[in-house]
Amino acid sequence: MSLKWKTINIQKPGKKFNILGHMEQAYDVVVIGGGPGGMGAALGARESGVARVLILDRESEPGGILLQCIHSGFGLHYFKEQLTGPEYAERFLNKVIDDNVKIMAGSYVSGIAVDSDGTKQVRVLSEDHGQVIVKTRAVVLSMGCRERTRGAIRIPGTRPSGVLTAGLAQKFVNMMGMLPGKRIAILGSGDIGLIMARRLMLEGCEVVGVFEYLPYSNGLTRNVVQCLEDFGIPLHLSTTVAYIHGRDRVERITVAPVEKDLKPDLSQARDIQCDTLLLSIGLIPENELSQSLGIRLDLITGGPWVSSTLETSMPGVFACGNVLHVHDLVDYVTRESLLAGRFAGEWAQGVRRPVDNIRLIPGDNVRYCVPHSLSTEREHTIYMRCKTVMQPCKIRVGNLMEKKLRFVVPAEMIMLKIKPHLLDKFHGDTLRIDILPEDA
């Protein structure tokens, strides 16, 4: 028995594609989320040899946040060229279509049940067909992340209009053709905030400054240079917004320097006139579904605890992309998601990798590392972030290897490859990773 619903036609040169067509009641791999992570996972699953792969996405079309990121800079690592967000998404969407991956857009996953034989029943709410139950052997979680809001950091003051997240402002400007205001202040130096500072300047707005409570930027160095310095937009480090003023609309903000205990020094506070405050204060992995399944989460990343195959604590459920840990580059999301999809496809075919026998331990100046455990059977790519700025420095992986780096900053992901022959020399069940001064 098959179900039929609304189809979406995608135009390519000389060819017309139908993404959805008919949906079967059972699939080898179901991917939850249609952003770059979800599309990469679907392609990885197909590469593993499985035939029936389904992507579930709550938006009306796949692509995720990339669709509103019209600036260039995507694909430098994966495609070796600069692409805009929509261009990057289109390349993968075309691959997904060519590989006969089914996509169900406008759908919400409300829960997952597991049968006694390990089969997963994914409960899906469709805009057109109500509730649908999809059976699958393996699931890949790729729901992405969301922005922190004013409520997350409890900025004092009134509650006027004109306070919104940088990502929402990006959607207003790039997809809806609306400006959020004329005189803009930005709290937080995350990459979306930096990019929006430049975008709003190009649209004729005045950006009065970017205020970051830490002593260093939380965005990529290239974005600080290209989006702020090249446009003369001031970046105020160790400074925060202490109060929001305004009745119906933001009228001004009070900013103050931050002391060593990260509390604002109100004796040095000053007011800045503005009509809009954008918040770029961090991202949170979308793990409500993971929590409902009882999946073990990492308290630091906010995402699932995963093995070297990117399998969560629930057998047959894998995770990748920003739902696992927040990435700085979409290229890294793609590489990680392709692996997650391949391992999910193997699981669906009955392939069981040996259980990991080494647990990774974040050491000095290492905030977290993913995956959380390793196997001695193959090469591994480890993603990590540091706690504080350090230069020059080196990464030390137990007594196996050291790698020198010019500098590390918390805003930029560190990627490290470990070859199997190094792990063959290791004896023990825990492996510590440290970031140390070069002369340590």
Predicted confidence (pLDDT) per residue in 109-120, tens digit: 999 999 999 999
At residue 22, the pLDDT reads 58
CATH 3.50.50.60, domain 2-146+284-348, yes or no: yes
Which of 356, 406, 404, 363 is closest to 384 using CA atoms? 363
For 370: left if phi > 0, alpha if psi spans -120 to 50, otherwise beta; the answer is beta
Q: Residue 18 pLDDT > 70, yes or no?
A: no
Cis peptide before 392 (omega within 30 of 0): yes
User: How much is the average pLDDT of 13-36?
Assistant: 71
Contact 32, 109 (CB under 8 A): yes
Percent of the chain with pLDDT over 90: 81
Q: Residue 19 pLDDT > 60, yes or no?
A: no
Q: How far apart are CA 249 and CA 251, in angstroms?
A: 6
Q: How far apart are CA 425 and CA 292, in angstroms?
A: 40
Strand order in the sheet with 366-370: 366-370, 380-386, 414-418
**What are the domain boundaries of the chain?**
2-146+284-348, 152-281, 358-437
The fold of 358-437 is Immunoglobulin-like (2.60.40)
User: How much is the average pLDDT of 361-377?
Assistant: 95
Q: Hey, what are 58's tokens?
A: 């709550």
User: How much is the average pLDDT of 51-66?
Assistant: 93
User: How much is the average pLDDT of 158-183?
Assistant: 96
Lowest-pLDDT choice from 123-137, 190-204, 272-286, 351-365: 123-137
User: How much is the average pLDDT of 340-345?
Assistant: 98
Q: Can 152-281 and 358-437 be said to share one CATH topology?
A: no
Q: In CATH, which superfamily holds the domain spanning 152-281?
A: FAD/NAD(P)-binding domain (3.50.50.60)
